[in-house]
């Protein structure tokens, strides 16, 4: 039996936006182990949940035994407009981005640089993975991945070194890749973090099309709101947070209550600065330390 190890993040902050409301229709686009969904169900709300992970389907079935008001769709949230929802409008939509602790612990996915595993990092089930990127991407593509997604200044030097090493022998595992990073001579800006963090982040973002999924979703989500609904997004790295921040800014309702860019909808931004977890939450759940929550109220 798979056990859900994932602790939901910033649940009090999320619930605070809807604490007096009843019987809401909520769309949880990143169900994971169902931590947030369970909190919504306990408050008597109705949950429509999405996740691409097979294990989430199992967790959703378990949750449904006690809370019948949940319906689960195994899919990518970028396909929100293709799903055959019972309800098409929601009062609250949540994205808790990235991967779950269960996925981090899964050696077949290999997201961790602390454990050895085959190079993969794909947790969303597409065709791409870290092995293909490292062993088959050309110089320019590798440079882009490490520069844009890893924010590694010496991305070109790293790409050249990888291409040289893989011509001698394919790079098969996480530990082999870490060895390549170590020997590359690249100066990773890593005083506080493990030196492989940025390169792993880059490969994970590329393998799962993380930023593209978010951007596609944000282009569609406005069609799914009830009046005065909320969009809440938790992100875990600056590249994601920048997309969310700009999305709210670009669609902010102006002071004279008009909308931007000929749209007939917009958001009141409820978090001028992103909310972050309390010190206590970070102590209790170290994984929450980099979380940033932004919330907007949908107006049309």
Ligand X SMILES: C[S@@+](CC[C@H](N)C(=O)[O-])C[C@H]1O[C@@H](n2cnc3c(N)ncnc32)[C@H](O)[C@@H]1O
Question: Considering the complex, what minimum distance in angstroms separates the CB of residue 230 from ligand X?
Answer: 16
Is 53 near ligand X (CB under 6 A)?
Answer: yes
The minimum distance between CB 73 and ligand X, in angstroms, equals 9
Q: Is 13 in the site for ligand X (CB under 6 A)?
A: no
SS (HEC) of the chain = CCCCCCCCCCHHHHHHCCCCCCCCEEEECCCCCCHHHHHHHHCCCEEEEEECCHHHHHHHHHHHHHCCCEEEEECCHHHHHHCCCCCCCEEEEEEECCCCHHHHCCCCCCCCCCCCCECCCCCCCCCCCHHHHHHHCCHHHHHHHHHHHCCCCCHHHHHHHHHHHHHHCCCCEHHHHHHHHHHCCCCCCCCCCCCCHHHHHHHHHHHHCHHHHHHHHHHHHHHHEEEEEEEEEEECCHHHHHHHHHHHHHCECCCCCCCCCCCCCEEEECCCCCECCCHHHHHHCHHHHHCEEEEEEEEC
Instruction: Convert residues 104-123 into a mask of x (bound to ligand X by CB under 6 A) and - (unbound).
Output: -------------------x
Q: Among 10, 49, 63, 124, indicate the residue that binds ligand X (CB under 6 A).
A: 124
Q: In this complex, which beta carbon is closest to ligand X, that of residue 103 or of residue 184?
A: 103
Q: Which stretch binds ligand X (CB under 6 A): 19-27, 74-82, 112-120, 246-254?
A: 74-82
Interface mask toward ligand X for 77-106; x: CB under 6 A: xx-----------------x-xxx------
Residues between 16 and 35 that touch ligand X (CB under 6 A) = 30, 32-35
CB of 212 to ligand X, least distance (A): 9
Q: Give me the least distance between CB of 26 and ligand X, in Å please.
A: 12
Residues that bind ligand X (CB under 6 A): 6, 8, 30, 32-36, 50-53, 56, 76-78, 96, 98-100, 123-124, 213
């Amino acid at each position: 039996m798979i056990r859900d190890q994932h602790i939901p993040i910033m649940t009090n902050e999320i619930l605070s936006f809807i604490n007096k409301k009843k019987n809401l229709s909520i769309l949880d686009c990143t169900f994971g182990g169902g931590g947030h969904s369970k909190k919504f169900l306990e408050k008597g709300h109705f949950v429509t949940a999405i996740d691409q992970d097979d294990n989430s389907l199992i967790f959703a079935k378990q949750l449904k035994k006690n809370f019948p008001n949940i319906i689960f769709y195994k899919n990518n949230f970028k396909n929100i407009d293709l799903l055959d929802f019972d309800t098409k409008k929601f009062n609250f939509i949540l994205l808790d981005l990235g991967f779950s602790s269960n996925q981090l612990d899964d050696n077949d996915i290999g997201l961790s640089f602390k454990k050895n595993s085959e190079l993969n990092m794909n947790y969303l089930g597409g065709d791409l993975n870290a092995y293909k990127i490292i062993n088959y991407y050309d110089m320019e593509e590798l440079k882009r991945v490490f520069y844009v997604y890893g924010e590694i200044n010496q991305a070109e030097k790293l790409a050249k070194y990888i291409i040289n090493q893989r011509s001698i022998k394919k790079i098969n595992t996480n530990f082999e890749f870490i060895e390549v990073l170590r020997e590359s001579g690249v100066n990773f800006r890593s005083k506080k973090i493990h030196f492989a963090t940025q390169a792993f982040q880059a490969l994970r973002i590329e393998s799962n099309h993380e930023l593209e999924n978010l951007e596609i979703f944000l282009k569609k989500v406005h069609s799914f709101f009830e009046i005065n609904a909320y969009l809440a997004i938790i992100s875990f790295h600056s590249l994601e947070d920048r997309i969310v921040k700009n999305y709210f800014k670009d669609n902010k309702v102006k002071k004279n209550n008009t909308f931007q860019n000929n749209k007939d909808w917009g958001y009141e931004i409820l978090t001028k600065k992103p909310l972050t977890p309390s010190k206590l939450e970070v102590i209790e759940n170290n994984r929450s330390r980099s979380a940033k929550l932004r919330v907007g109220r949908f107006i049309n």
